Every structure is written in structure tokens, then in C-alpha cells.
Structure 1
Amino acid sequence: MSEEILVNVTPRETRVALLENGALQEVMIERSNSRGLVGNLYKGRVSRVLPGMQAAFIDIGLARTAFLHASDIVRSAHTESETPSAGPANIRDLVHEGKEILVQVLKDPLGTKGARLTTHISIPSRYLVYLPGGKGVGLSTRIENEHERSRLQGAVGQFMDEVSQGGYIVRTAGEDAPVDALRADMLFLSRLWESVREGSANAQPGDLVHEDLPLPVRILRDMMGEGVEQVRVDSESTYKRMKHFADRFTPELSPRVQHYTGRRPIFDLYGVDDEIDRALDRRVNLKSGGYLIIDQTEAMTTIDVNTGGFVGSRNLEETALKTNLEAARAIARQLRLRNLGGIIIIDFIDMEDEEHRGLVLKALERALAQDPAKNQVCEVSALGLVEMTRKRTRESLEHVLCEPCPTCEGRASVKTAETVCFDVFREILREAGQYEVQELLVIASQAVVDILLDEESASLAEVEEMVGKPIRLQVESQYSQEQFDVVPT
């Protein structure tokens, strides 16, 4: 599988696209006024303790207080000695209101929810993750070769005495890394942690103590591997910064970072913008003629699979199987492309054959295996639904690029013009009963006024007779279909 990374830079926005075999798989967007917070370290102050939720709200200087659960708080040796049973500690034993605490952002603020925090600090480098509160050496589960795992564990372990106390995790990128490179990473992380500790001691509550790397450099650290054939960057200054980082930390991969100087926008060259636009639609068409309907809500994401124009060649069961197998692959790609997370419910086309259900479930799991985000798929439920979860750490593509419709306010529907007419009648009666008026002026959209003058003209005359006052209509072209005013004059 060949991978390619495209970096598009404009004055206040950076976009990164990951392509696999020419197909867009993932999009990341970072804007200068709303950079992601995951990985950042803050000096926080406990603003409120919630014993019922075993959590606390922490002020870290953002618009909304952040959330810290008791399970995400490092327990001191003193606390552990008081609770030797290793059961969950009480939040009141861990923090109190007004306490200052060093915290790291686990999840960006999502919708109306504040950021999710932890005191289990982790600081990544190219090959390693440093855990100041940890012990020993851990390894990524994606490093499967036992000989290599033993080599890495021994290589990192032999340098533990040279650096700050704590633990290390060898990242997937650390597989086959030279011993000298691992040692250099450990020394770098040790120096960085000492700097963070000093900064935290001098910081005020709400201060940013340590910020993660900007997106273009971060993708070199997190995504640059042997499978990436090239990284193309359309900004000279960003290219130089990425090249400097690559020369220092991944010199063997540095030649793959290239400056794109073509006149045609780099995303247009690969059709990325068209793919992004399609990823914002509810409907995803399948090659067979079937399609998906993807609806994202605050509670969950639902995906409905439909046969559409695909009728198959034999029978309904075969048609359902072929459509579901194609849909399983498309769903895995869409989850990653749209960065959908949390609870996801998939309504595949009903299949009677138990073996066919198993084939679709396995196809979905195989397709999801390529997704770097942690996910878990459950068996087909009694209602024929597949329930799954996908780890969510940042806003979805839709939430980054879109906002709720100002007309329907995110309901995805508006009142009919007829319904609004009856709302107008009720408002007329309300206004006439409260005020002494000579006349009532109704200001509404063209569609509503047309119905009041046509289908509902008799009803309007009846209401006029009831209030005993003349009613005048006026069209306001700027009003949405649901908007209207009844003005007593």
C-alpha cells in the first residue's frame, strides 16, 4: 500500500490530507484561531468537585471549564497507602476546590462539552512516549516481532539511569530504530520534561505550560513511516520547517519531504477538495448503485445502508450481501475521513443467512483494522443493527467546517408554510387580546403570504372578523419560511 501526504497552507489555515493508493483516507485541519488542544499541558485550578460523578471541573483558561475524572488522576504514594485495596479512590481524597494542578488535554472541547483532562502526563517524541509518572518500558502492540520487541525493551532499559525518572513507551515508529536514535529521544524528552516542570512551577492557573507541535510538523512525527512515499508541501516556509525537523529526527526519510511549486493548487491536483465536499453530504453513493445515509448527532452517529438502484442478479439475499460487503468497506473509510467517533449504529440491509451476517461483520472489522483510531465492534443485535465505538479525540470534519443551519437550527427540517399560517392566526388572536389596536400588520415570507391570500384566505377573513380589526399583509424577502411578525398599529 502506497501512502502520500499532502500539506496545503494558507495564511491562517493548514490542511493535511493522507492518501492511500491515490484515495483520500484522512483529513486534518488546523486554524490559527482554533488550534487543537490535545497534548497541551496547562496549570489548572480546581473550580468545583462533583462527588456524585467522581469528577472535578478544572479552570485552564478556556471559555468552558474542563472535565477531570477521578480515574484520570495520578494517585500519590500517600493516597495509595490509605487505600491498599486498589479500589477506586474518592474524588474528595484526590483534589479539593482551589487546588492548583498540572493537567494534560485528552480530548478537545466537543460541542457543548469542555475539554477532557488527565494528570497522567505523556510527552511524545519521534520514537518514544515519556511517562513522568510511569515505570519501566512498554511497547506498541503494533510491533509484533518478538525479537524486535526484546531488542527495543533492552535498548531503552539500558539508558534509564541517564534520564529523568519515569517510564517509556516505544511507538510503532520505533520499530527497527537505531539504539543511538532511541537514546537521543530519551535525552530530548528528559530535557523537555525538566523544562515543563520549571515552567509549571512559575506558571499561574490558566497558563499554557507546554504546547504540542503545529500540525505540519506533528504529522511528520506521528504519521511519517516507511509506507509514506512522499510528503508534498505547497508553502516554502512550512516546507523548510518540516525539512529541518525531518533532517534532525528522521534523516533517512527526509528526502521524501518535497516542496510543491506547481501553479495548480495541490488539493485540486488530487481532487481532495471534491472529496471533502462529498464527505459533508449525508448520502454516500456506492459503486453498485446502493448508498449510505450518515446522520451525525451529539449522542451518536447512525448509518443506514440501502440497495438503491442495485437489484442484483439472483435474489434479494444475494443483493443484500453484496451491497452490505461494499458498504462495510465504504463505512470504514467514511468514519476515518469524517473523523466520526463515539457510539456508531449501523443498519445494514436485513439478511436471513447467519453466515452472511458473519461475512459482513468480518469485512467491517478488516476494513477498520487500517484505522489508527481505536475502535470496537459488537455482534449484530437482535434488531439487526451493528453497534460500534470509535475513539474520538477531536472535532469531526463536519463540526470543523460547518455550523447548524440558521433556518432550521440544526433540526434538518422547517415548518411548512401552512403550519406557519396557523401560528400567525394564533399570534393575531394573542396580540388583539392584549392591546387596543386600529390594525394588525403581518410581516412574513413570500410563501406564507401567498397561502394566506389563497388557500387560507377564508380562514384569514374569519380571524379578521373575530378580532374586529383589519389585517394587512406584507412580504419580507429576508425572512425565512418560519419567521413572521404580527405588529399592532
Structure 2
Amino acid sequence: MRILASVSPGEVRVALLRGERLEEVWVERPARPDGVGDLHRARVTALAPAMAGAFLALAGGETGFLPESEAGPVRQPIAQSVQEGLVLPVRVTRAPQGGKGARVSARLTQAEQARAAAAPPGNTPTLLTRGPEATLRLGRAHQGAEVVTDGAGLAARLRAALGAARVTYSPRPVFDEALEAEFDLVAGPEVSLPGGGRILIHPTPALVALDVDAGSAAGTRDPEAQRRVNEAAVAEAARQIRLRQLAGPILLDLAGMTQKRRATLAEPLAQALAPDRLARLLGLGPLGLFEILRQRIHPPLHEVLAGPLTPGLAALRQAVREAAARPGRRLALRAAPALLAALEALPGALAEAAEAAGQPLQLRPDPTRSWAQWTIEDASHGG
């Protein structure tokens, strides 16, 4: 097992690999953490007995929801656990989603209780400590895994937490071309299957649909052709669910096959999902769709990567690479105004790019481009 963490302006991308096989993908923007694991001093603002919980005010004007099952060591009606105006320490257990606030818990570890007790007293909602970043979470979950990063600051933090022997700092980028290509594929809406066919991935606000396209196998006379495609799809679907952090209700529609034949793939699908502790197979529904439920903790990858910020950060990575290849060259980023605005709104991203490149990157808005289009130019050529 290896954990590779690629640090670039405004972003940290993390890969968990077993041999050369990519098993987990994480993309984090340190200036905008998802909040999972954060320890807050929060204030109860409203009880919601009908929802079996209470709403809390968190630091930064955010709202959290405390289920009554997480309000104390013993579950009891929420009104018997907390009262409006009560200030208490809580840990964020699930990131905000769909316009709803974070899910929190008041059931803390002894170490968390000690940190909360050591904080200066007060009634104002306060962030006491940040939760662990993805590289640290993976390092703790996979004790035997080697950790390699090209970020000096990240390497120092990880050595302090995991031990110097486990963490290697690389002065060169830790992602090679093959891994960069895999990250690009995981961000896309489809994945090819070995032997032909593909899986189309359609996230919606209510659920995620995975549709298997048999491709050329759909027109063959080989009765086992579709089964082979679907067997491959079952394994790859489970892998993609974990890679992309898909969550909530997930429906898998295999290619062709009768309901009876589809049922024979239930056990292989359950086995493929087994390593993912957050996912479970509910069964094969009456419409012939496999129904999977995966617990949501962190935002799924398609939410993290949505919008113009993602291509903007890719542009900063490219600018830093070009600056390293030709030191002293003045560079400019030509892109849609929405892309440039997204970079300017992310605290620290442009400053980090300027530090890595040795000088600021000129920004050249081009309204004729879509928000995903950008080019790195020689700034000496003017604008």
C-alpha cells in the first residue's frame, strides 16, 4: 500500500494505491475544508423533536444538526438532553449536503473532551480544532502504507503525526502521467470496461444511477457475452463508487439479461462492495436494478470538482510546471472571467502559485471562452 499526496496551489490531491491499482481518490482545497472531524464549541438554537434532534450554531455562521442519538451517552428524547441556548462541544461527523448543514455529535473521545475543556470559556460558537486532512486519515487507517508527498509543509505535519520513518518528501511531483490520467478519468462521466463496454455515471440530487452499456457485446450471438460484460461491470461499479465517494441511494442497471440471470450477480456485487465499509447492497429491485446504499460523510468527488475552480487549479499546476521548466519566464493565464474569479475567490491559491513560480501570474480575462477553457501564455507578448 502507498499513499501519494500531490500538493499544488490551492489544492491537495491524494491517491491510495495497492500495488499500481488506485483504490481511493481525495481532492481537498485546504482553504475550504469540508469540516468533517472539526471540533466546535456550538450553541443550541432550536429543538426539533419531530426530526429527533436539534439545530446548533457553529463557528463562521454555519448550522449543524445534532441527532438525539448523538446528544449524549444514552439515547433519550432531545428535550431531555439539551435545551435552547446550551453551549456544548461537538464534532462534525458529516459534511453539509444539499443545502443542509453539517451533522454533528456530542459524543466525544476523551482527547476531544480534554481539548474542549482547555479552550478559553465563552458562549460564542468557536472552531476549536480542525479535523484531519485526507492524507493523515489514510495514514492512520493503513498503518503499513508508505506515505510520499511533494509538499514540504505537508511532509512535516505528517512526520509529526505518523512518525518520520513512514513519510517521504519528494522534490519531484509524486503523480506520474499514468496517475494524472486516472484522476482525469475518475472526474469524468464514464469508465471503460476491460474487454469492451462501459459504465455511464449519472449523479442527481436524489440518487446516483450507474448504467452499463454492453457496447459491441450487445449485438453478438454469444449468450455469455453480456454476462462477461456485466461481471466486469459489477466489479468496476463497486470500485468507482468508492473512488468517487458516491453516496446515498445508488442504482446499478446492468446490460440486458433477465431478472433471474441478473440475480446471479448479486453475490459477486456484494463481495465487490465488501471492502467499502460505507456501502451495502440492499438487493435487486422489482425494476431489475441493483439497489445500493452508501453512507455519506465527505462530499462526493463530482461535487468537489464541479464548477470553474477545478480547471482554474489545473491551470495553476500547469503554470508552475512551465515556470520550473523555464525559470524567470513571465507567464499569463488567459481564461474565462468566471474561471479567474473562482481563483481569486479561493484564499491563498494565486499567492501560492506566485511563490512556486517565482513571480505573480498575470490574469487575462477572455469573455469569448467557456469557463473550462484556459491557456498559459508568455506574458512578455502583452495582452
Within a 5 Å distance, the mapping from 1:114-263 to structure 2 comes to: 114-122=101-109, 132=110, 189=111, 193-199=113-119, 202-225=121-144, 228=145, 230-247=146-163, 254-262=164-172
1 CA distance for matches of 2:208 and 2:243?
A: 14
Structure-to-structure mapping, 1:406-425, within 5 angstroms: none
Query: Which of residues 87, 100, 121 is equivalent to 1:100?
Result: 87
- Pairing 1:285–2:192 present: yes
Letter in 1 for 2:116: V
Residues 104/240 of structure 1: CA separation in 2 closer, same or farther (3 Å cut):
closer
Rounded Cα–Cα distance in structure 2 between residues aligned with 1:118 and 1:222:
21
The DSSP-based 3-state class of the residue aligned with 2:217 is coil
Task: State the secondary structure of the residue aligned to 2:269.
Answer: helix
Residue 330 of structure 1: aligned partner: 236
Could you tell me which residue of structure 1 aligns to residue 174 of structure 2? 266
User: What amino acid sits opposite 1:245 in the alignment?
Assistant: A
Q: Deviations over 1:432-471 (max 9, x none)?
A: xxxxxxxxxxxxxxxxxxxxxxxxxxxxxxxxxxxxxxxx
Question: For residue 221 of structure 1, what is the amino acid of its counterpart?
Answer: R
Could you tell me which residue of structure 1 aligns to residue 11 of structure 2?
Answer: 13
What CA distance in whole angstroms lies between the structure 2 residues aligned with 1:353 and 1:29? 38
CA contact (8 A) 2:159 2:166 kept: no
TM-score relative to the length of structure 2:
0.74
Unmatched segments (≥5 aa) in structure 1: 77-87, 123-131, 133-188, 248-253, 406-476, 481-489
Contact 1:283/1:293, CA 8 A, preserved across alignment: yes
The offset of 1:54, in angstroms, is 2.1
| Secondary structure of the structure 1 residue equivalent to 2:59 | coil
Q: Does 1:112 align with 2:99?
A: yes
Residue aligning to 1:401:
305
Confirm or deny: 8 A CA contact 1:6 1:231 kept in the other structure: yes
Residues 66, 103 of structure 2: 8 Å contact kept: yes
Would you say the 8 A contact 2:3–2:135 is kept in 1? no
Counterpart Cα distance in 2 of 1:203 and 1:36: 25
Retained in 2: the 8 A contact 1:103–1:118? yes
The SS at the match of 2:215 is coil
Question: Are 1:370 and 2:275 counterparts?
Answer: yes
- Partner SS state of residue 310, structure 1: helix
| 8 Å contact from structure 1 (residues 75, 94) kept in 2 | no
Label 1:54 to 1:97 Cα distance change in 2 as closer, same or farther (>3 A).
same
Alignment partner of 2:54 out of 56, 59, 73: 56
How far off is 1:313 after superposition? 6.1
* Distance 1:244-1:61 versus aligned 2 partners, 3 A rule: closer
CA distance in 2, matches of 1:12, 1:325: 40
Matched, 1:298 2:298: no
Q: Secondary structure at the residue paired with 1:38?
A: coil
Look up the SS of the partner of 1:320 in the other structure: helix
Residues 196 and 210, structure 1, Cα contact 8 Å, conserved in 2: no
Distance 1:212 1:27 in 2: 18
Distance in 2, Cα, partners of 1:89 & 1:238: 42
- Structure 2 unmatched ranges of 5 or more: 310-366, 371-383
- Does the 8 Å contact 2:44/2:83 carry over to 1? yes
SS in 2 for 1:309: helix
Aligned to 1:80: none
How many Å separate the matches in 2 of 1:195 and 1:311?
60
- Letter in structure 2 aligned against 1:259: Y
1:288, 1:310 within 8 Å by CA — same for their partners in 2? no
**Larger mean Cα displacement after TM superposition, 390-399 or 213-222:** 213-222
Asked whether the equivalents of residues 46 and 96 of structure 1 are also in contact (C-alpha less than 8 Å), the reply is: yes
Q: How far did residue 299 of structure 1 move? A: 1.3
Structure 2 CA distance for partners of 1:90 and 1:196, relative to 1, 3 Å: closer
Name 1:126's counterpart in structure 2.
none
Aligned to 2:364: none
Partner of 2:287: 383
Q: Secondary structure at the match of 1:266?
A: coil
Between the aligned partners of 1:23 and 1:479, the Cα distance in structure 2 is: 36
- Distance in 1 (alpha carbons) for counterparts of 2:44 and 2:83: 7
After superposition, the Cα gap between the structure-2 partners of 1:233 and 1:110, relative to the gap in structure 1 and judged at 3 Å, is: same
Q: Kindly provide the amino acid, as one letter, of the partner of residue 305 in structure 1.
A: V
Q: CA deviation at 1:358?
A: 4.1
State the shift of 1:353 in Å.
7.1
In our comparison, the structure showing a higher alpha carbon Rg is: 1
Change in CA separation of 1:195 and 1:68 when aligned onto 2, cut-off 3 Å:
closer
What is the CA–CA distance in structure 2 between the aligned matches of 1:390 and 1:213, rounded to whole Å? 22
Identity, % of aligned positions: 31
Q: Is the 8 A contact 1:13 1:31 kept in 2?
A: yes
Residues 390-433 of structure 1: per-residue CA shift (max 9 Å, x gap): 1210111111111399xxxxxxxxxxxxxxxxxxxxxxxxxxxx
Deviation of 1:362 after TM superposition, in Å, equals 1.7
- The one-letter code of the counterpart of 1:240 is A
CA RMSD of aligned residues (A): 2.7
Aligned pair count reads: 313
Where does residue 91 of structure 1 map in the other structure? Answer: 78
Higher relative contact order (CA 8 A, sep 6+): 2
Q: TM-score, normalized by length of structure 1?
A: 0.59
Letter in 2 for 1:395: P
Deviation (angstroms), 1:478: 6.8
- Alpha-carbon deviation of 1:314? 4.7
1:363 is displaced (CA, Å) by 1.6
Relative to structure 1, the CA distance from residue 375 to residue 204 in structure 2 (aligned partners, 3 Å threshold; closer, same or farther) is: same
Structure 1 CA distance for aligned equivalents of residues 47 and 21 of structure 2: 47
Contact 1:313 1:319 (C-alpha < 8 Å) held by counterparts: yes
**Cα distance in structure 2, aligned partners of 1:213 and 1:75:** 24
- Measured in 2, the distance between the counterparts of 1:311 and 1:320 equals 7
